Structure 1
Amino acid sequence: MARGGTETPDDELRLLVDDIGRRAAETGPRTLPNAFDDVLWRALEDTGLSRLTSAQDAGLAEAAVVLGGLARWSAAVPAAETDVLAAWLAAKAGLEVPAAGPLTIAIADDGATAYDVPWPHDGRVLLAARTADALRVGWLDRPDVVDGHNLAGEPRGTIVVDLSDTVELPLDVFRELTLRGAWARCVQIVGALEKATDLTVAHTRDRVQFGKPLNAFQAVAHSLATMAGELERARAAAALATAAVCDYGFDSPQAEYAVTLAKVAVGRAVDPVSTIAHQLHGAIGVTIEHDLWWATMRARSWADEFGTPGQHARALGRAALTSDDPWELVVGRV
């Protein structure tokens, strides 16, 4: 909330997303693999949140509020895939963008097979196949999908792609697509880690052991402090990435640096935050019925999508080695 108690548009958007997400978490399906939440999706479409940047002329800062807020509630919909990835890429390729309904993206890095396609049966699938000299983009009609799911139960499929009836784009577009995906996952991970932290703080405050709340024990308090520190580092890195893409655009060196840095910092926060959260919850934290499981398993799965933290760390290392002034890179002046 802004100074003086006045709500800003971002505050109003955050409250709206939180309300929609909370209601979905209370009434939506909790299955493994996840079932697409049709009621939640209709709520997002009715409020204009399903295509915030691609159809509502909103910016990436607003998209970050939506993605992070939905991640807090483990929303079973392809929010990032629809708005930030598929709708953007289809428009970039001059293809017709459906005005309604969920979308997803099938990335074939080798030009032949798309692995880990999110929600492949629940929305129209846009192919993004990288070949030696171009990015081939086109809608896939009724593709054959080998079904699977990630750690959190989100559907992920494998599709052998057909490059006929596709549009050729420069390979620079593929770079922006992967940066967009990495940025979106960073924002979503922070939302999931915020949920895990909130649940842990509440649990240790309310759970009484040996006549006093868990958070009164020194070891527990130290663990909570560690968790909070890791979360704040991840949140700061994601905020820097969001500021960079808003100010400079995804096709800038500033955005590439900030998103790469965020993917490292946010990804590395997943393990300590998740571990501490489950330790302090005890046995109940590992059950699929508990909200903590849905939050931490999503964070762990998303950390490896659109490049692992290790891959992004190596990219930062290569940039430092090839830079004319590595110190300028270290302090973020790129």
Structure 2
Amino acid sequence: MTRVLTGGVFVTDSGTDELADLRQLAGDIGARSSEERIGHRGLPDDFDTVAWGHLQDAGLTRLTSDPESGGGPTESAVVLRALARYAVTVPLAETDVLAAWLAAKAGLAVPDEGPLTIAIGNTGTPTVSGVPYAGAASAVVVALRDGATLAVAVTEPTITDIGHNLGGEPRATIAVPADGFVTVDGAAEELTRRGAWARCIQALGALDAAVEFSVAHTRERVQFGRPLSAFQAVQHTLASMAGEVERARAATELAVAAVAVHGFDSVQADYAVTVAKVVLGRVVPTVVTAAHQLHGAIGVTLEHRLWLATMRARSWIDEFGDTAWHARRLGRMALAADDPWDFVVGGV
């Protein structure tokens, strides 16, 4: 079945949007989570067990890693973006796109239900830091890099330190198990690509929320007897934000399409995800700065929902390779291309 990009969504060749129901369902779960947790956010933010239960009951937690789910990368992208837009604190990307996939590739068993997470470090390290949602995970897939090779093990988390990223998502340091590792050749690059792909989609969802909040705030906030949105400078800022987000959306949807058609291990996905990571890395700081300028001091308080969108976006763009790392990678791809023009227009 062929999917083409029409009006910002993927539709089948018959013109029927098969993803409409999924988009609505994921949005409903996200909106419910956001409403129920107003005033209850903290640092670190707690894992949302209720939202995870809804996702699990709806069969949305293993869309790419379970062949029987009936889903794939396109469907996973819809759910990831919706949850990020509402700042739902669950490890969906870690569970489905990363941990379950890598465990299956290594031939290791993980629980069929419950959240998973992934811990990525280098061979020989006694601990791995920055592990997402380690305290909530039913199992951790540990991946230790040695060049393109990964040593992979599945373990229960032994947490030595608890923290969070800028957006309040829980991050922890865990001890590396002494044994139980399986060697997986050639998987390190795909693991990074999968993580970068997921973070681009999540960052896009967060940017959508930041623009939405900014539009609403400038319409409601009155200054000198007029709403802020009536001032030309504010209008220009909002228009610039929207344009930047659409640039990010185009790059991200190219990455989603490349993975859906060619797979995560393809050269097309490598190119598209790298481009998306570079574009998001440039767009996010611009949109985040503008959103906080429009909100003023209220936008940086824990009580306001803006920080959940902007700070998570800032955190996500630096994970699985920051902007500079992906920009250098894109430059090396361009230098190695047989036809530079084909490369520039995406003919890879």
TM-score grouping bracket, smaller chain normalisation: over 0.9
Look up the match of 2:24.
Answer: 15
Look up the match of 2:45.
Answer: 34
What amino acid sits opposite 1:12 in the alignment?
D
1:192 paired to 2:206? yes
Worse-superposed segment, 147-156 or 243-252: 147-156
**1:234, distance to aligned residue in structure 2 (A):** 0.4
1:48 paired to 2:59? yes
Which among 149, 157, 165 is matched to residue 164 of structure 2?
Answer: 149
Which among 77, 99, 102 is matched to residue 64 of structure 1?
Answer: 77
Look up the match of 1:25.
Answer: 34
**Structure 2 unpaired stretches of 5+:** 1-8
**Partners in 2 of 1:248 and 1:324 — Cα distance?**
21
* Distance verdict in 2 for CA 1:92–1:245, change over 3 Å: same
**Partners in 2 of 1:63 and 1:206 — Cα distance?**
35
* Distance verdict in 2 for CA 1:54–1:132, change over 3 Å: closer
* Distance verdict in 2 for CA 1:7–1:213, change over 3 Å: farther
Deviations 1:18-46 (A, max 9, x none): 11111111113411111111111111111
Look up the match of 1:102.
Answer: 115
What amino acid sits opposite 1:11 in the alignment?
A
% identical equivalent positions: 58
**1:324, distance to aligned residue in structure 2 (A):** 2.8
Q: Is the 8 A contact 2:148 2:188 kept in 1?
A: no
> Aligned to 2:187, what secondary structure does the other structure show?
helix
**Partners in 1 of 2:148 and 2:212 — Cα distance?**
47
Worse-superposed segment, 275-284 or 253-262: 275-284
Worse-superposed segment, 91-100 or 238-247: 91-100
Deviations 1:231-253 (A, max 9, x none): 00001100000000011111111
Look up the match of 2:314.
Answer: 300
**Structure 1 unpaired stretches of 5+:** none
Q: Is the 8 A contact 2:157 2:175 kept in 1?
A: no
Look up the match of 2:4.
Answer: none
- RMSD value, Cα: 1.8
Look up the match of 2:231.
Answer: 217
**Partners in 2 of 1:33 and 1:230 — Cα distance?**
30
Look up the match of 1:249.
Answer: 263
**1:108, distance to aligned residue in structure 2 (A):** 1.0
**Partners in 2 of 1:150 and 1:39 — Cα distance?**
22
1:240 paired to 2:254? yes
Matched ranges for 1:120-135 at <5 A: 120-123=134-137, 124-132=139-147, 134-135=149-150
Deviations 1:180-231 (A, max 9, x none): 0000000000000000000101111222222222111110011011101110
* Distance verdict in 2 for CA 1:108–1:209, change over 3 Å: same
Q: Is the 8 A contact 1:134 1:169 kept in 2?
A: yes
* Distance verdict in 2 for CA 1:71–1:142, change over 3 Å: closer
> Aligned to 1:99, what secondary structure does the other structure show?
coil
Deviations 1:77-119 (A, max 9, x none): 1010011111111111111131110000001134524231111
Look up the match of 2:3.
Answer: none
> Aligned to 2:303, what secondary structure does the other structure show?
coil
* Distance verdict in 2 for CA 1:7–1:292, change over 3 Å: farther
**Partners in 1 of 2:177 and 2:144 — Cα distance?**
9
> Aligned to 1:145, what secondary structure does the other structure show?
strand
Q: Is the 8 A contact 1:17 1:70 kept in 2?
A: yes
Look up the match of 2:188.
Answer: 174
**Partners in 2 of 1:262 and 1:69 — Cα distance?**
18
> Aligned to 1:195, what secondary structure does the other structure show?
helix
Q: Is the 8 A contact 1:111 1:130 kept in 2?
A: no
**Partners in 1 of 2:167 and 2:261 — Cα distance?**
33
Q: Is the 8 A contact 1:136 1:163 kept in 2?
A: no
1:328 paired to 2:342? yes
**1:162, distance to aligned residue in structure 2 (A):** 3.3
Look up the match of 2:6.
Answer: none
Deviations 1:129-183 (A, max 9, x none): 112563111112242432221111111122342352111111x211111100000
Q: Is the 8 A contact 2:110 2:154 kept in 1?
A: no
- The normalised TM-score by structure 2 is 0.91
Q: Is the 8 A contact 2:190 2:265 kept in 1?
A: yes
> Aligned to 2:143, what secondary structure does the other structure show?
strand
Worse-superposed segment, 199-208 or 295-304: 199-208
**Partners in 2 of 1:7 and 1:284 — Cα distance?**
42
